[in-house]
Chain A
Amino acid sequence: MSAVVIKCEGLGKNYHRGAVQQSALLRDHLSRMMRSPLSLFRRPKDETFWALKDVSLEVREGEVVGLIGRNGAGKTTLLKILARITRPTTGGAEIRGRVGSLLEVGTGFHPELTGRENTYFSGAILGMSKREITRKFDEIVAFAELEKFIDTPVKHYSSGMYVRLAFAVAAHLEPEILFVDEVLAVGDAPFQKKCLGKMSEATSMGRTVLFVSHNMNAIEQLCRRVILLQSGVVNIDSSDVRSVVTKYMSGAAGERQPSVWVNYSDTFQNQYFRPIRMAIVDDSGKDLEMPVRNDDDVWVEIKGEVMTADPALTIGYAIFDERGKLLYWTYQTDQPQVDWPIIKPGIIQLKSRFPTRMLNEGKFRLEFLASLHFRTWLLEPGAGSPHIVLSIQGGLSDSPYWMAKRPGILAPVIRWQVSGEKDRFRAPG
């Protein structure tokens, strides 16, 4: 059993809301003191706000823990306390090991300094010694791909360059415990992938990571344990990351989120096909926010890289309902062979229209399928395959008698007519 490296006991943090609202000016404070000297000792009662209440947990060496929750749940506060940026009001914690905190991109950067100077300072403030920074300097610059610009002032950098350098510095920290807060929300997709790759490297080297994020994809892919905070209290603490994330996402009904899966890690590797992205999109390819309406024009878009163009390569998705019941599989090879989309080596992007008004309202899980027909699964449904959630609400029917959800997994709008009449409606082909 590995050692406990983080131990929290009854951590609590309150903020005196009154103190923040009251003037942050000394002269006001002094004049108030003059007028009513006793007010100094009276603490306004309803003005305290507990960001964290009695949080106790233990993290062992090498664990990668995701910390999720709504905004204001206390995740960042907990991280700040553990990173010693602020002190708790009650309780205590013990940390064993060197801590690196990645709470923002570009800690300590100053626009007037060059990339080189900023690298040194940022590295130093994040905890590296001068010798260490010098030793890793070339690596950092190479990771950021900024060899030509390292000696120009950072104020001339594009935002992408800035982020790359900032992350390159942070990525080369070698702490025993790493605290990461939403840092991955910046940068473009290939860069984010690089960052996460570096993070996975960190975790595979036995580092303990505490990761706060709203990016459920990243949480699912990187974390082996997840803690859900709600209003300053630990709600769930479990190693069944998938179900906690699903539960959290279904509870976060108020937040409209796109339904996207992006491959951040190096799993799902094989020599034929590597999945890159899967998303629910509209006709033009733009990500759609969940929930969608049943009569919306909804497409499933899959992006991947074909390494070997085997004719037996089939790609598609499987769809399950909320209870896990399989509805159907679909592949790009289901249609007549003349209509099969051509698969060549390289990056491919396939899309298929989702049948409108077929499924009922609710949440469905679409899992990425890929296989070599009759030979082997590359991405098998139900075996950890990447998935996204399709959430349908509304748009059931134009009929005044059908406004609310009915029972049943499917909810097609079936046409009726009087027998004996000629077929009034052509069935959709």
Chain B
Amino acid sequence: MVSVTTRPPDGSGIAKVVPETMALPLPAASAIVRIEPSRGWLDLRLHEVWQYHELLYFFVWRNVKIRYKQTVIGIAWVILQPIMTMGVFTLFFGRLAKLPSDGLPYPVFYFAALVPWTYFSTALQNCTSVIVSNQHVITKVYFPRLVLPLSAVVSGLVDFAIGFVILLLVTAIYGIKPTLAALWLPLLLLLAMLTALGVGLWMSALNALYRDVNYVVPFIIQCWMFASPVAYPSSLVPQRWRWLYGLNPMAGVIDGFRWALTGHGVAPGPLMLASTVAVVVVLFGGLLFFQRMEGTVADRV
């Protein structure tokens, strides 16, 4: 008896050629990846994050898409929220409490602060929850987890851009022209981003370990808002406490925004340097802590 097995012809009949030059966000074919327990604290692996930059873009794109699909009002909410807050502040802090405003009309005064502040607070909040809310992905695929907090901080820029355009409109309506100092704005924004990222990395890693951190952050943000010149000018702070106040990077950012766009208020001074140093220290510490936790976060989440 003869055994017969025949293979049918391959249906596709097309030879697939995989080009060597495909840009892939993963190690090249011959690269060896070493897997081992976390060792040491100085294992930052930032070059790996760069390799995955396309994935970062995808996360940001996805966050933005989901955000705008989920709310019925969508983009309108991005505009409405700071405008409404500005309205409330103008009414209560401005008209009723009669807080000073550096000589600016109240709406401009508050809006100029709210745009960077809203960016910072949403970036920090999202950064804190990003690991936990992406747990279903983290437990299934590898990518440097640092991509997630980075995506949270970058996604906020889209809302910021929209808010900024409104801000320019508002200043134009009141006939206020930006000064040359407006060139400082990107740097100020960068400082806000790094602050959000620095604190966010700590919060994000802690939140993955202890789930209640997520509930503490809104409270921290509230306090932080009052410690920043959002609802009042920093000139209100007594001279001898000005140095402590200045350590808050967001104080420098908000003052800087107001000053750059309107020419009024307190120009960023040497205290900015101190707050920048503080931010760098917090950021560096956050990176170390985060990268250390990265290896086992998939077990805890």
B211 to chain A, nearest CB (A): 5
User: Are B296 and A87 in contact, with the CB atoms below 8 A?
Assistant: yes
Q: Which of A92, A110, A268 contacts B34 (CB 8 A)?
A: A92
Closest B residue, CB atoms, query A181: B140
Contact pick for A380, options B3, B8, B35, B136, CB 8 Å = B3
B34 surroundings in chain A (CB, below 8 A): 92-94
Query: How many Å lie between the Cα of A89 and that of B299 in the bound state?
Result: 12
Q: Are A124 and B24 in contact (CB under 8 A)?
A: no
Q: List 18 A-B contacts (CB under 8 A).
A: A15-B299, A24-B210, A24-B300, A29-B210, A83-B142, A85-B139, A85-B141, A93-B36, A94-B33, A98-B27, A113-B65, A121-B62, A124-B58, A125-B141, A125-B143, A132-B22, A176-B29, A376-B1
Q: Chain B contacts of A269 at CB under 8 A?
A: 5-8
Question: Which B residues from 180 to 194 make CB contacts under 8 A with A?
Answer: none
A-B interface, 4 closest residue pairs, ranked by CB to CB distance from nearest: A87-B295, A26-B210, A84-B142, A92-B36
B242 at the interface (CB under 8 A from A): no
Across-interface contacts of B27 in A (CB, < 8 A): 98
Contacts between the two chains (Cβ within 8 Å), count = 156
Contact (Cβ within 8 A) A96 B30: yes
Residue of A nearest to B209 (CB): A24
Considering the chains assembled together, what is the distance between the CA atoms of A82 and B142 in angstroms? 10
CB of B20 within 8 Å of the partner chain: no
Contact B206 A26 (CB under 8 A): yes
How many A residues have CB within 8 A of the partner chain? 61
Which residues of chain A in 361-398 are interfacial with respect to chain B, using CB atoms and an 8 Å cutoff? 371, 376-378, 380, 383
- Say which residue of B4, B18, B54, B138 sits within 8 Å of A85 (CB atoms): B138
A residues within 8 A CB of B5? 267-270
Question: B35 near A98 (CB under 8 angstroms)?
Answer: no
B26–A127 contact, CB under 8 A?
Answer: yes
Over the window 20-63 of chain B, the binary record of Cβ atoms lying under 8 Å from chain A Cβ atoms (1 yes, 0 no) is: 00111111011111111110000000000000001100100110
A27 → chain B, closest Cβ, in Å?
6
A313 at the interface (CB under 8 A from B): no
Q: Which residues of A contact B (CB under 8 A)?
A: 15, 24-27, 29, 80-99, 101, 103-104, 107-108, 110, 112-113, 117, 120-121, 124-132, 153, 174, 176, 266-271, 371, 376-378, 380, 383
B79 contacts chain A at the CB level, 8 A cutoff: no
Which residues from chain B contact A129 at a C-beta distance below 8 Å? 22-25, 54
Contact (Cβ within 8 A) A101 B140: yes
Within 8 A of A (CB), among B149-201: none
Q: Does B223 contact A (CB under 8 A)?
A: no
Report chain A residues within 8 Å CB of B4: 270, 376-378
Residues 69-92 (chain B) with a chain A CB within 8 angstroms:
69-70
Structural contact, A132 and B24, CB atoms closer than 8 A: yes
**Contact, CB under 8 Å: B6 / A270:** yes
**B66 at interface (Cβ–Cβ under 8 A)?**
yes
Q: Which of B281-301 contact A (CB under 8 A)?
A: 295-296, 298-300
**Closest B residue to A174 using CB positions:** B18
Pick from A81, A87, A271 the residue with the most CB of B within 10 Å: A87
Chain A contacts of B18 at CB under 8 A? 174
- With A101-B142, A117-B65, A270-B6 as known contacts, state yes or no: A87 contacts B24, CB within 8 Å: no
Q: Smallest Cβ distance from B143 to chain A, in angstroms?
A: 7
Q: Which of B35, B143, B206 makes the CB contact (< 8 A) with A88?
A: B35
Interface hub of B1, B23, B69, B141 (most chain A Cβ within 10 A): B141
B237 contacts A by Cβ under 8 Å: no
- B297 CB to closest chain A CB (Å) equals 8
Q: Determine if B25 and A95 form an interchain contact, defined as CB atoms under 8 angstroms apart.
A: no
- The answer to whether A87 touches B141 (Cβ under 8 A) is no
**Counting CB contacts under 8 A, is B213 at the interface?**
yes
Q: Which residue of B lies closest to A135 (CB)?
A: B22
The CA of A131 and the CA of B57, in the complex, are separated in Å by: 14
**Among A15, A87, A95, contact of B38 (Cβ-Cβ < 8 Å):** A87
Query: For the complex, what is the distance from the CA of A92 to the CA of B184, rounded to whole Å?
Result: 48
Q: Is the CB of B62 within 8 A of A117?
A: yes
Type the 1/0 row for B224-263, where 1 means its CB is closer than 8 Å to any CB of A: 0000000000000000000000000000000000000000
